[in-house]
Amino acid sequence: MALVLEAPEVAASVRPGQFVMLTAARAGESAPALPRPMAIYSRDQGAGTVEILYGVVGAGTERLRSFNPGEQIYTVGPLGRGFEVAPDVQTVLLVGRGIGTCSLTTVAQENAERGRDTIAVTSARNSGALIGVDFYRKHGAATVHAVTDDDGTSAPAALIASLTEQHDEKPPQLILTCGSDRLTRLCQTLSERWEAPMQVSVEAHMACGLGYCHGCASGARSQGNESPLICADGPAFAWRILAETDA
C-alpha cells in the first residue's frame, strides 16, 4: 500500500533513513491510540510531499488502509538518526529486504542529487514482492540486483558470489542495510572484504518514537548506561564487531 502525504516541512528536512510516526486514529477516535513508525520511501521537496509504502500486518496498518485521499492524518517527524554518508564516499551499496527497503530508497534519491553512485540490492520472497526496482533505476542506480527466494538468487551464497564478481574491482565505500539479519551478516562479510564501513537500520516496536517511553531500548548496555533507544539513537547504527566469541 502507498500513502502520499502533503507534509512540506517533513519533505524539506527529512534525512535518508529517518522515519515518521503516523496516528491511524481519526480525530475523536480512541484507537489505535499509539502511532506507528514508518520510513519515508521518497520525498518531493518541490511538491512538499512524502511517500510511504506499508504492508498491512495488524490493527494500525489495517486502519491506515481505510484513509481516503484528502483526509488528514496526524504525523510527527522526521524522527530519529538516519544514515551518515561521509563526504569522501562516492559509491554506496544499499541492501534491503522486503519492506525494509523503504528505509534505504531516499539514500538513492540523495545520491542522485549529490552525484554519488548507488548499487542496490532488493530482496524478497518473489518478484511480485520486490520493492524499489524501478525507483532505484529512476534515481540512477548503476546496478540493481533484484533477488528472490523463488529463483534462489537471494540465497546468501548466490548473492555474495554475484556481488563480489561484479563489484570486487571497484567496490563501494559504504554499505547500508535494512530488513534482514541474514543480509546484515552478508553485508558484514562484504564490509570486511572491501574494508567499507557499514550501517544498519534496526526495527523495534515504538510507542512514542520520541525518546520518552524508553520502550524501544535494545542492544548492548554500556556500564551505567541503558541500551540505546532505537527511535532516538537510531534507527540507523554504525555496525562494529566488538568481540568475536566461539559460542
Q: Which residues bind ligand FES (CB under 6 A)?
A: 206-209, 211-216, 229, 231
Give 103 or 111: the residue with its C-beta nearer to ligand FES.
103
Min separation Cβ 192 and ligand FAD, Å: 26
Half-sphere exposure of residue 5: CA atoms within 13 angstroms, side-chain side: 29
Cβ-Cβ contacts under 8 Å for 136 (sequence gap 6 or more): 94, 105, 108, 118, 120, 122, 144
Min separation Cβ 89 and ligand FES, Å: 29
- Write out the DSSP string of 183-194: HHHHHHHHHHHH
Residue 156 contact partner, candidates ligand FAD, ligand FES, none, CB within 5 to 8 A by sort of partner: none
Min separation Cβ 34 and ligand FES, Å: 9
Which positions touch ligand FAD (CB under 6 A)? 19, 36-39, 52-55, 57-61, 99, 102, 203-206, 235
Residue 112 contact partner, candidates ligand FAD, ligand FES, none, CB within 5 to 8 A by sort of partner: none
Measure the CA dihedral 61/66/68/73, to 10°: -50
Min separation Cβ 40 and ligand FAD, Å: 8
Give the β-pairing of 49-53 and 2-6: antiparallel
Grid-cell match 529463483, residue found: 151
